[in-house]
Amino acid sequence: MPKITLHKNGEVHVGEVKDNTNLVVRAGIRQFPYPNLSYKCGMGKCATCRCRVISGGEHLPEPNWKEKKMLGEKIDEGYRLACQLWISHDIELSQDVD
C-alpha cells in the first residue's frame, strides 16, 4: 500500500492508502490526509490542492493539461495538483507555504 507523507504547516502527517488513490477524493470522505490537505474544486481548476513533490514523483505520469495550465513554471519546481493524481507508490508531498 502506498505510504503518503504530507508536510503541512511545519507538521508531518503519514498514512497508508489503497493502490490507485486520489488524495483529494479521500479527504472529501474525511479519510487521511483529511483534514490536513487543502483543496477546493477537485477538478484541476483552483490550484488549492497544489503540492510540491519531495520524493516519489518519478512514479507519477506527466502533468496533464490542467496541471500545466494552473501551475505553469511551478511544474519545473516539482509542483503538482493533488486532485489530478492517482497514487500507486510511496510519495512525499509538501503543502507548506512557499
Choice between 1 and 23, CB closer to ligand FES: 23
Choice between 45 and 59, CB closer to ligand FES: 45
Choice between 42 and 92, CB closer to ligand FES: 42
Instruction: Write down the least CB distance from residue 57 to ligand FES, Å.
Output: 17
Burial class for 48, CB neighbours closer than 10 Å (0-12, 13-18, 19+): middle
C-alpha cell at 9: 504547516
Q: Which residues bind ligand FES (CB under 6 A)?
A: 24, 39-42, 44-49, 81, 83
Instruction: Write down the least CB distance from residue 82 to ligand FES, Å.
Output: 6
Three-state DSSP class for 54? strand
Instruction: Write down the least CB distance from residue 7 to ligand FES, Å.
Output: 18
Produce one character per residue of 26-46: b if its CB has 16 or more CB atoms within 10 Å, e if not: bbeeeebbbebbebeebebee
